[in-house]
Amino acid sequence: MTASLRSLVIATSQIKDVLRFYQNLGLEFKTKKVALGTEYYWTLANGLEIAFLEKPDIKLEAQPHYLLSFRVKEIDKKYQQFVANKFIGIMDPTDFDEGRKAIVLDPDGRSVEMLEG
């Protein structure tokens, strides 16, 4: 039997900015209450639940850094929207064998790859 990823929950101290960042990718979030009265913000992306949980006291340098990758339409326009909204672009839209891609940083410093398609 092969394991399949069902959900990804990411802690952040900057919930409003993180939600705004991922909404710019086209994700729409719902709120869900969990144990002890806390809330997290979740969405489904191709059957994968992606959720953000606010942890106000988390230290940015203590967070693991990894790459998230999303397929988007109109990558050049999307990239310019991020840069115009003061998010950091670390790779302008560039053509590769596997397609056109760009990378921006989310508010917590995670690399977010956009692949056109």
Residue 50 lies in a domain: yes
Q: What's CA 88's distance to the chain center, in Å?
A: 13
Number of domains within the chain: 1
Give the CATH number of the domain where residue 78 resides: 3.10.180.10
Determine, yes or no, domain membership for 2: no
Instruction: Give the helix/strand (H/E) hosting 68.
Output: strand 67-72
Confidence of residue 62 (pLDDT cuts 50, 70, 90): low
Question: Over the stretch 15-35, which tens digit does the pLDDT of each residue have?
Answer: 999 999 999 999 999 998 876
SS3 15: helix
| pLDDT confidence band for 53 (50 / 70 / 90) | confident
Question: At residue 92, what is the residue type?
Answer: D
Decide if 98 is inside a domain: yes
Tell me if 1 is assigned to some domain.
Answer: no
Instruction: Tell me the residue range of the domain where 87 lies.
Output: 7-57+66-116
pLDDT value at 45 more than 60: yes
